[in-house]
Structure 1
Amino acid sequence: MKVVYEAANLIDAHLVRHALEAADIPVFLRGEQLLGGMGELPLFGVVAVCVPDLAWPQARAIVEAMPLGEAPQERDADDPGLAGEGWLPA
């Protein structure tokens, strides 16, 4: 097994896991059970998404295409896409 992604949090790890499983790549989350014991463990690099060695190149391409850790793009108030959503800005 090779690490294809070191997650900052459990949500990111599961997003990557589901994307890889949708591509029929088997996934193992290393360190998922350790998140409750942060007392003596490092805060970063605890959860890693691992895949079989042969599937690593395909898995890496999928992970790199995902918008992980990117800030959401701001939308312009004049964007016509906002009018149909039924939400008003606060």
Structure 2
Amino acid sequence: MKKVYDALNNIEAHLALHQLQQAGIHAYIEGEHLLGGMGELPAIGSICIMVNDQDEAEANEVINNWDNIEIN
């Protein structure tokens, strides 16, 4: 499995996951359930999106396209 995205929070993780699923890429969120135990420690970097090794390049393309969308 390869990490393709570090999310700032659960919402961002699920948005990224949905984009990958819409593109037909099997992915999952890792670290989502650790947030409750973080306490006052920063949670950045603890939630990430994982994909199969063979899907890494396509997943990176999907994530980059999604992450660069300008909202007016």
Tell me if both proteins adopt one fold, taking TM over 0.5 as the criterion. yes
Structure 1 residue runs of 5 or longer lacking an equivalent are: 74-90
Q: Can you list the C-alpha shifts for 1:2-31, whole angstroms capped at 9, x where unaligned? A: 000000111110011011011111112110
Size of the aligned set, in residue pairs, is 72
Structure 2 residue runs of 5 or longer lacking an equivalent are: none
TM-score, length-scaled by structure 2: 0.86
Q: Which has the higher strand share?
A: 2
Choose between structure 1 and 2 for higher RCO, CA contacts under 8 A separated by at least 6 residues: 2
Q: Can you list the C-alpha shifts for 1:22-78, whole angstroms capped at 9, x where unaligned? A: 11111121101111111275421010000001000000000000136x7843xxxxx
Q: CA RMSD in A?
A: 1.9
Residue in 2 that maps onto 1:49: 49
TM-score, length-scaled by structure 1: 0.70
